[in-house]
Amino acid sequence: MTLMLSVPLTLSNFSCYSPVCIDSSHFIMSLAAEAFVSQIAAAEPWPENATLYQPLREDQILLSDCASSLAVQAYLRMCNLPVQVSYRPNAEYMSPSGKVPFVHVGNQVVSELGPIVQFTKAKGHSLSDGLDDVQRAEMKAYMELVNNMLLTAELYIQWCDDNTAAEISRPRYSSPYSWPLNHILAYQKQWEVRRKMTAVGWAGKNLEQVYEDVSQCCQALSQRLGTQPYFFNKQPTELDALVFGHLFTILTTRLTSDELSEKVKSYSNLLAFCRRIEQSYFEDSQAGSSSRGYSKGPSLF
Amino acid sequence: MPQPVRAVLAAEGDLHNWAYAKFAGAPLKVYKITNPWRSPTGVLPALKTAEKSIGSLSKPSNIIIHLRKQKYNADYDLSAKEGADTLAFVSLLEEKLLPALIYTQWVDSKNYVDVTRRWYAENIPFPLNFLLPNRIHTQQLERLRLVRGDPTLEPGEQLEKELYHDALECMTLLSQRLGSHKFFFGDSPSSLDAYVFGHLAPLLKIKLPNGKLQQHLNSLDNLRQYCTNILLLYFPSEGKEPPSRKVSVHPEGSDFDSEPHKRRNQILSVLFALGSMLGYAILTGIVSIQQVQAQPALAEPHHVDERGEEDEEE
């Protein structure tokens, strides 16, 4: 099979972040690479052995990563694309952009929901084709809202709140490693996240304000959802997948305090929304996962 | 009873707050100052309130919250769904548009040197005009690196392309959402309008050498019309002058105005330099002034001459 590439392949188009190479042709989604991906992606159908990589479910994965991973899984299920989930302690380092989850499809590796959505679109599977321009604008805006508020709040609570960081985040993050690497990696990650919080202006907030922001975000989502089954009426879109990933994870994760999940629980239509998606798309899997200190994966409340 | 609010805002920096205050009908006294040290909080923009307990506020979100508490709320008429949409679109703008705007003013080499830094150098008093622009430049670059998770990021074509791609898409989305309406929600402007106007209007007015964002904005007719409309309605006194930073680019012919001062400054600085060099030389003994005694008579003119010659030879 010959492929006509209109983008010249130069090394400057690709950059490699991970020390572990899966194969020779992985890259990040830069602008030029996007065109390249679209061409290659369009050429092959979705294979049976597509794999999604994330950190270990029981011991290692944290709230924010689990939410992102669940969002991607939900999206792929909504598109009816089969994917196997593989748990690796070094998933973060394997990922081309340093963020989990990432999927290995054919001979491409794509990480994070945004690029994965574009990737599947290039293969001809899309959930948002039926939307008009205004709706698409709103969908993108709400996805940014979730990323801006919910994801940042999750990161804040995990790493900037001393209690949670000491009791949950640091032990879990470094659980696969032995001393002294576990301390070094945990503190390094914490320092990195705290610096990022300062850059986006969240360092000056206290926990109460963060919970207030989460509440505001949930209120906005709840008002947008209203009484509809999905955000854009009959059909789920990537926005539904993203919201489900975050809200479901928040609801089923035990942290040092219940306040975060209480904030979400106060909106009944959001609860019903999560239950609906869980029943429609995750019914067949992991019915018996027990919830220990930090329950993960689709499970009943 | 809403209290009168005194405000100290800069003419550059936060058009967003000023616009919100106008839309909400808050009676503000606006002081245009360019020296952040003279502001009550040390940074610009700043809102000085009448209440002693609150004092002065600087963060834009705090300013808007305070105005709301004083019952100046531009979002009063919005429905719940519209309020939710506002939050969502503000997030979208913050994530996609704001980084590109900051990049184009502060990080992009040509724009920063030609326009931004120049404006600061000309309009802010000494010694801030040396310190402030550079500090903001490094801060913004650092912030960009942190947010994108890449500590080796350099301003360049690649970064510019990615940022602008997101920003152009964002502007197109805004344009699609606005459609042919006068404001985003209904007939009166809301906080989303303040945010959009506050960030897009400067882009329309400032002439930047590297103006891809401007070109795209100009091509979106309804957005351009929208900004001009708000400008006419709510900022009529600003007239032709941009309410945000003025770019003082001197055209060739009108150098005469600054000439006398320039010449005088040059001469003064040269004299000062010469004087200090001479003083230093004398003090350290590199140059010594011989005190030649004024001899009373022609008694020993040749001695003086000899001595003078000997000194010169040494």
pLDDT of residue B105: 80
pLDDT of residue B101: 84
For residues A176 and A17, the model is more confident at A176
Q: Per-residue pLDDT for B219 more than 50?
A: yes
- Look at residue A36 and give its three-state secondary structure: helix
pLDDT of residue B228: 86
Which of the given ranges, A3-7, A208-212, B59-63, B227-231, has the highest pLDDT on average?
Answer: A208-212
pLDDT of residue A273: 93
pLDDT of residue B55: 59
Nearest-CA distance from A261 to chain B in Å? 20
Q: Per-residue pLDDT for A77 more than 90?
A: yes
- pTM over cut 0.80: no
Q: So what's the ipTM on this one?
A: 0.76
Per DSSP bridges, beta strands A102-105 and A108-111 are antiparallel
For residues B111 and B68, the model is more confident at B111
pLDDT of residue B37: 63
For residues A48 and A246, the model is more confident at A246
For residues B297 and A162, the model is more confident at A162
User: CA angle A77-A83-A89, nearest 5°?
Assistant: 120
Q: Per-residue pLDDT for A186 more than 90?
A: yes
d(CA B203, CA B171): 12
pLDDT of residue B249: 35
Q: Per-residue pLDDT for A146 more than 80?
A: yes
pLDDT tens, A215-269?
999 999 999 998 899 998 788 999 999 999 999 999 999 888 888 899 899 999 9
Q: Per-residue pLDDT for A159 more than 90?
A: yes
pLDDT of residue A17: 35
Residue A239 C-alpha from the chain's centroid: 12
Residues A223, A228, A230, A235, CA torsion sign: negative
Cα-Cα end-to-end distance for chain A: 49
pLDDT tens, B185-203?
878 888 888 888 888 887 8
Q: Which residues contact A292 (CB under 8 A, 6 or more apart)?
A: A58
pLDDT tens, A281-301?
988 655 333 333 344 433 433
Confidence tier at A5 by pLDDT (50, 70, 90): very low
Residues of A in contact with B143 (CB under 8 A): 199
- Taking alpha carbons only, the member of A289, A271, A291 closest to residue A279 is A271
CA–CA distance from A265 to each of A38, A121, A189, A251, A273 (Å)?
Answer: 40, 33, 30, 8, 11
Interface test with A, best of B57, B61, B68, B85 (most A CBs within 10 A): B85
Cβ of A216 within 8 Å of Cβ of B92? The answer is no
Q: How many CB atoms lie within 10 A of CB A250?
A: 24
Cβ of B91 within 8 Å of Cβ of A144? The answer is yes
Residues of A in contact with B147 (CB under 8 A): 196, 199-200
**Range scoring the smallest mean pLDDT among B43-52, B91-100, B171-180:** B43-52
pLDDT of residue A160: 92
Cβ of A137 within 8 Å of Cβ of B174? The answer is yes
Closest chain B residue to A139 measured between Cα atoms? B88
**Range scoring the smallest mean pLDDT among A16-25, A60-69, A143-152, B230-239:** A16-25
pLDDT of residue B209: 78
Which of the given ranges, A243-252, B3-12, B111-120, B225-234, has the highest pLDDT on average?
Answer: A243-252
- Look at residue A220 and give its three-state secondary structure: helix
Nearest-CA distance from B178 to chain A in Å? 9
Which of the given ranges, A1-10, A27-36, B35-44, B228-237, has the highest pLDDT on average?
Answer: B228-237
**Range scoring the smallest mean pLDDT among A19-33, B73-87, B254-268:** A19-33
Task: Kindly state whether A141 is in contact with chain B, defined as any CB-CB distance less than 8 angstroms.
Answer: yes
Do A199 and A101 contact (CB within 8 A), yes or no? no
Looking at every residue in chain A, the average pLDDT score rounds to 81
Cβ of B173 within 8 Å of Cβ of A137? The answer is yes
Q: Per-residue pLDDT for B46 more than 90?
A: no
d(CA A65, CA A53): 11
In the 8-state DSSP scheme, what is residue B286?
Answer: S
In the sheet with A102-105, reading across from the earlier edge strand, the strands are A84-87, A51-54, A102-105, A108-111
Task: Kindly state whether A223 is in contact with chain B, defined as any CB-CB distance less than 8 angstroms.
Answer: yes
- Taking alpha carbons only, the member of B2, B6, B11, B133 closest to residue B63 is B6
Looking at every residue in chain B, the average pLDDT score rounds to 72
pLDDT tens, B6-39?
444 443 446 777 777 777 776 666 666 656 666 6
d(CA B146, CA B137): 14
pLDDT of residue B310: 47
Nearest-CA distance from B90 to chain A in Å? 8
pLDDT > 90: percent of chain A: 42
